[in-house]
Amino acid sequence: MKITRRALLAAGAVLTATATLAACSSGGGFGSPAASASSSAVSSDNHQPLTILIGTSGDAETNAVKDSVAAWSKQSGTQATVNVASDLGQQLSQGFAGGNPPDLFYVTNDSVATYASNGSLEPYVTQLKNKDSFYPSLVKAFTVNGKEYAAPKDFSTLALVINTDMWTAAGLTDKDYPTTWDQLEQVAQKLTTPQHVGLAVSGQFERLGVFMAEAGGWLVDDNGKAAASSDANVQGLTYAKKLLSEGAMKYSSQLGAGWGGEAFGTQKAAMTIEGNWISGAMTKDYSSVKYKVVKLPAGPKGEGTIQYDGGWGMASQSKNKGGALDLVTYLTQPDQQLGFAKAFGVMPSVQSIADQWKQQFPEQTAFLDGAASSKSIPSVAGISDVIKNFDSQLDGLSSTDPKQILDKVQTNLQALPGLS
């Protein structure tokens, strides 16, 4: 009896000790209060060193960002370190939970709501001096519940990429670039041979969604409410289903390729729908394939494409928000953005250098031209799971009723906060 009591006492002591240890050792970890998150004013000790976390496409991007940040550091006298994330989402979550996140980091428009919803992000964009220089659609893509959370740094749109050799071999000329759905269907049929299919796309909403946009639909309506099961969306997917059933379009997975660019690069398809990142893959892996990028054809309700946006997120827990704000202003200046575009081929987020960019990359103008008619994935927490589910349903599009798929997407969307 005595021993049991003593055992209990000792166990209690050990537990207390461990609890104390945990509280001390984790420092800024679980022990630290989230109080620092609540201070909203972007002003603080401007000499606290900054850390910047980026998810990079390669050495070119890493070095370009590092050089720019170093130049700012020299100019401002604030120390700043650029770290490359191996898994950006995971490392950010760890930072937020541990109370020690990077001051600035890359965010995408489909993840911004996740971080904004729990207060991890500082809605600092209204305080940016160059706020009005961005494309409004980009700023909107990073707006959650009326607050602008990230300064756009670059963006991509989808366009139609055409293999020029196959194009001429099918007897097509520059005048035949499709501008309507009917024309796209016709050229896709003409370009389909036993060796290759006319059009190959990844079987995902992230690509097939362009047909929904061109039919005048989207996941949400103008008021930001769930509208997946609209007639326009049904029309868009019905068109895609028609192309699939005719054999003029195939999913890249059916061709044994991981994405549209791979199917296109390995010449299993004459056309694909991809973003401007495809130019990097073409130069690196498929340099022998000649191609041309044109705007996507207009649907029944005009032109439409999807845009993917990158921006700079600022941690609400940052200890030097003033310095971080200054750095974002510096990095999103036109000349810096043009430098990034040259270094790793992104499209700048400011309108003023659009013409310069087009001169620099004449073969990619179609991507930038798409900006005017492009739609973004709604910035709502939990949207990525809904889209993942949509994607897995689209896999069976050729044997499923589009309306049935979209109804299920609508149900899932309505379960998200603020969409119903």
Partner 1 sequence: METVMARAAGTTSAPARSATRRGPGIRGRDGVAGWLFTAPVLVILGLFLVLPIAMAAWVSVSSWSGLGSPFSSTVKFVGGANYAALLAKPGLAQSDFGTSLRNNAWYVLLVVPVQTAVSLLLAVLVNRRIAGQGAFRTAYYFPSVTSSVAITVIFLFLFSASGTVNAVIGWLGGTGPGWFTETRGVVQLLLQAVGVHAPAGNGFLGLTWFDWVAGPSPAMLVFIVMAIFTTSGTFMLIYLAALQQIAEEIDEAAVMDGAGPWKRFWYVTLPMLRPTTFTVVTLGLIGTWQLFDQIYVGSKGGPANTTLTPAYLSYSQSFINNAWGRGAAIAFILFAIIVLFTVLQRLALRERTPRRRRSHG
Cα separation, 265 vs 270, in Å, equals 9
Cα separation, 64 vs 58, in Å, equals 10
Cα separation, 46 vs 50, in Å, equals 9
Tokens of 73: 């550091």
State yes or no: residue 15 binds partner 1 (CB under 8 A). Answer: yes
- Per CB under 8 A, the segment of 116-124, 170-178, 180-188, 207-215 that binds partner 1 is 116-124
Using alpha carbons, select from 337, 372, 373 the residue that is nearest to residue 356: 337
Residue 157: what residue type? T
Closest approach of Cβ 43 to partner 1, in Å? 21
The per-type count for the chain, helices as H runs and strands as E runs, is 18, 13
- Count of alpha carbons within 13 angstroms of residue 402, beta-carbon side: 21
Select from 67, 246, 395, 401 the one that contacts partner 1 (CB under 8 A). 395
Which residues within the stretch 327-386 sit at the binding site for partner 1 (CB under 8 A)? 381-382, 384-386
Select from 60, 84, 85, 97 the one that contacts partner 1 (CB under 8 A). 97
Cα separation, 189 vs 267, in Å, equals 16
Q: Which positions from 190 to 229 touch partner 1 by CB under 8 A, shown as an x/- string?
A: ----------------------------------------
Select from 117, 164, 179, 186 the one that contacts partner 1 (CB under 8 A). 117
Cα separation, 295 vs 304, in Å, equals 9
Cα separation, 255 vs 245, in Å, equals 15
State yes or no: residue 8 binds partner 1 (CB under 8 A). Answer: no
- Between 22 and 71, name the residue whose CB sits nearer to partner 1: 22
State yes or no: residue 302 binds partner 1 (CB under 8 A). Answer: no
Q: Which positions from 118 to 157 touch partner 1 by CB under 8 A, shown as an x/- string?
A: xxx-------------------------------------
Spatial contact of 62 and 134, defined as CB atoms under 8 Å apart: no
- Whose tokens are 């990359």? That residue is 361
Residue 48, C-beta contacts closer than 8 angstroms, at least 6 positions apart: 78, 319, 320, 323
Q: Which positions from 28 to 47 touch partner 1 by CB under 8 A, shown as an x/- string?
A: --xxxxxxxx----------
State yes or no: residue 417 binds partner 1 (CB under 8 A). Answer: no
Contact residues for partner 1, defined by CB under 8 A: 2-3, 6, 10-11, 14-15, 17-19, 21-22, 30-37, 89-90, 93-94, 96-97, 99, 114-115, 117-120, 252-254, 256-258, 316-317, 381-382, 384-386, 388-389, 391-392, 395-396, 412, 415
